[in-house]
Structure 1
């Protein structure tokens, strides 16, 4: 019996919802933390440290929590999933945060649920109504407006480039979520999480050299604490929790909770980094949320 089946038998209906909510809170808090680290560390070094910590924490429990990977098409799907997340996602996002603010990056993540809904309709037959497609278009227009209205500032040296990189990260996240939905029928959440972390350590291996070359900044204890939080709680904990939720919820419904990430990201960006948005960017943010809200009232089957 796979660990997916065991979790399905023991989990209450509330369990997957709480798991996804926990993942969303951790993801939202990660934008400010990543913004802080990439302000003085190379993004590759940050990501190798982050995935390395996650793998180090998971390794003692991997034999008990994770199952074997079978031969055949699953290996290709798992490899593509790991390429999308964490490899391409973190590559794009860590570089995006060197150019844009944590708040703007978090707001762009509001486009993910609509991208996932479109993909779920295409690949899994989850119905997306015309209103849902209109909401997707409106949300993407809001992301474009947020990007074009951004001016260089203390927290965003090149918001056009940074926001485009963040949007590329969201496309990668969409591919990951759709693949997890397919793979969760055969593999438990911690098997998927273990594959992700192992791929991340290998992909970001050049960061180990950069870490040795450049060090970890003027306050190594605080830097390592932030990296430890990102690795153990966000990279490992959040993805583990989200994989639990995705194994028990329709792809469209699980992705809807990503709408809360911008709120959490904006809160931490404001309280920890002092970030703000211009009136034009606030309007663009409202357009993003209007698109999300329009899609959610469209009666999408999920």
Structure 2
């Protein structure tokens, strides 16, 4: 049973991270026509409608959500989906995409730290080695030539984005002890939608947006249904099923898939560094997912 849960968790987390890696292509196109907070607001509106419909039509036993559950869901929505996503946008705008990619790659490190402090998960040597290899892999892929000093404010905001997303992952792990991942994701997105609304209204006073194109509409639907409703649910479900420290490593699939799709769809250059870094990331996952006492692969251990 544990093996099955861990295998399913690995599938959920790697799929979610891969979707976010591919989100870069759709976002880059749609953001040419729709300002960022308005796009986030649209993503959350669409995602909530989709998830709420699934939640209400599902045949699962009705959950008893008490006051402390609502507080926890509110924290997940505010800290993770509102603060973290907003900081990613603002931080990247005040720095650059390269700096953002480097700093965001620190998210799994914060997840492991929070998992140790809050969930009391063991900090094993295999976890430390895996995390180190994965971080090095990301640095090899995106490079180290970044202007942290020149973009100090942007860099600090991006660090906050990484910390809050890590905290989100831990809060989801706690909430999943009582509630389903579908319930958590649905109502947390509603909270984020509510907090994003004032920013969207403010932004609309200074920006116009163009939507009279089937490609733009399809892009928005993809971001709302697949990248938000689907990927957020899969990430939360994966964190429910797996040890948070091990699950955090699957976050590193994001830059790998993003680089691949950027090469395939946007004609971006891909170098030997991609294959070297990608190999280290894959190795880091295998280290914690292969039984030391066996030469054959085995699903991740808690």
Do both proteins adopt the same fold according to a TM-score greater than 0.5, normalized to the shorter chain?
yes
Q: Aligned with 1:127: secondary structure? A: coil
TM-superposed deviation, 1:83: 1.5
Stretch moving more, 250-259 or 232-241: 250-259
Q: Residue deviations 1:95-151, cap 9 Å, x none?
A: 3444523x6644544322222112111122211146755876897799899797236
- Contact 2:81/2:192 (8 A) holds in 1: yes
Q: Aligned with 2:121: secondary structure? A: coil
The one of 157, 160, 182 equivalent to 2:174 is 182
Q: Structure 1 unaligned runs (5+)? A: 1-7, 152-157
Q: Aligned with 1:205: secondary structure? A: helix
- Contact 1:48/1:208 (8 A) holds in 2: yes
TM-superposed deviation, 1:175: 0.4
Q: Which residue of 1 aligns with 2:14?
A: 21
Confirm whether residue 95 of structure 1 aligns to residue 90 of structure 2: yes
C-alpha separation between the residues in 1 aligned to 2:208 and 2:280? Answer: 44
Stretch moving more, 202-211 or 191-200: 202-211
Label 1:240 to 1:120 Cα distance change in 2 as closer, same or farther (>3 A).
same
Q: Aligned with 1:150: secondary structure? A: coil
Label 1:167 to 1:272 Cα distance change in 2 as closer, same or farther (>3 A).
farther
Confirm whether residue 70 of structure 1 aligns to residue 54 of structure 2: no
TM-superposed deviation, 1:272: 3.6
- Contact 2:100/2:155 (8 A) holds in 1: yes
Q: Structure 2 unaligned runs (5+)? A: 293-299
Confirm whether residue 194 of structure 1 aligns to residue 178 of structure 2: no
Q: Which residue of 2 aligns with 1:4?
A: none
Q: Which residue of 2 aligns with 1:257?
A: 250
Confirm whether residue 117 of structure 1 aligns to residue 112 of structure 2: yes
- Contact 2:16/2:234 (8 A) holds in 1: yes
Confirm whether residue 60 of structure 1 aligns to residue 56 of structure 2: no
Q: Which residue of 2 aligns with 1:150?
A: 146
- Contact 1:111/1:136 (8 A) holds in 2: no
C-alpha separation between the residues in 2 aligned to 1:97 and 1:76? Answer: 30
TM-superposed deviation, 1:70: 0.9
Stretch moving more, 210-219 or 236-245: 210-219
Q: Residue deviations 1:235-259, cap 9 Å, x none?
A: 1001111222222211122222112
- Contact 1:38/1:97 (8 A) holds in 2: no
C-alpha separation between the residues in 1 aligned to 2:175 and 2:47? Answer: 21
C-alpha separation between the residues in 2 aligned to 1:147 and 1:40? Answer: 30
